Amino acid sequence: MNADFNNRREIAEEKEADEWLIRVRRYLRVLSIRKKQQFNRRVSIGDLLSERAENAAAYGFGEGTTMYDNVLVLGRVEVGCHTWIGPGCILDGSGGGLRIGDHCSISAGVQIYTHHTVQRSLSMGVEPIGYAPTRIGDGVYLGPNVVVQMGITIGDRTVVGANSFVNRDIGDGLKAFGTPARIRGPVD
């Protein structure tokens, strides 16, 4: 008799869970339609349920800064005002801190690091992890999938082209691209 009661309870719980899941899916569909109508885009569940400005504010980033829900933030990361941080970015402030200025565009898939484990790996754990702060100036555009190595400074009003690997500093008002990134001249 007890087993029969438990079986009926489990069936009722499964039915309730199924009904709840159906309601959640309907709600997500409504949110998705609204997002498509408002911005003509499809986003992940996290971005349907959160607001990009609130995501940035939760980390203490500057006024007007927005970031997608799936941005990975590690360690001490400071971001100025009115900066856009696209989907799928990695902001690593674990090694001395990462500072991103005002009015920047950090495109989809950008990875900015303040540490690396190269020497630790090659030495079979004898050498320490390498750390150095990384700084991104004001008015910087980092194209999609840019990778910025630890310890780099990118100056104000600088453009770094898509798919570039930045392993040396870039001064103010310059454009750079490539792997490794090379300075190609002043920003037009």
CB neighbour list of residue 5: distance below 8 Å, 6 or more residues apart: none
| Cα 144 to Cα 67, 81, 95, distances in angstroms | 15, 21, 23
The answer to whether 84 touches 65, Cβ cutoff 8 Å, is yes
Backbone phi and psi for residue 128, each to the nearest 5 degrees, phi listed first: -80, 165
Q: Write down the catalytic residue from 82, 103, 115, 116.
A: 116
| Number of C-beta neighbours around residue 181 at 10 A | 24
116 is catalytic: yes
Three state DSSP letters for 77-98:
EEECCCCEECCCCEEEEEEEEE
Could you give the 3-state DSSP secondary structure of residue 17? Answer: helix
Structure token pair of residue 80: 């100025």
Please report which helix (H) or strand (E) contains residue 46, including its range. helix 45-49
Q: What is residue 173's DSSP assignment? A: T
Residues identified as active-site:
116
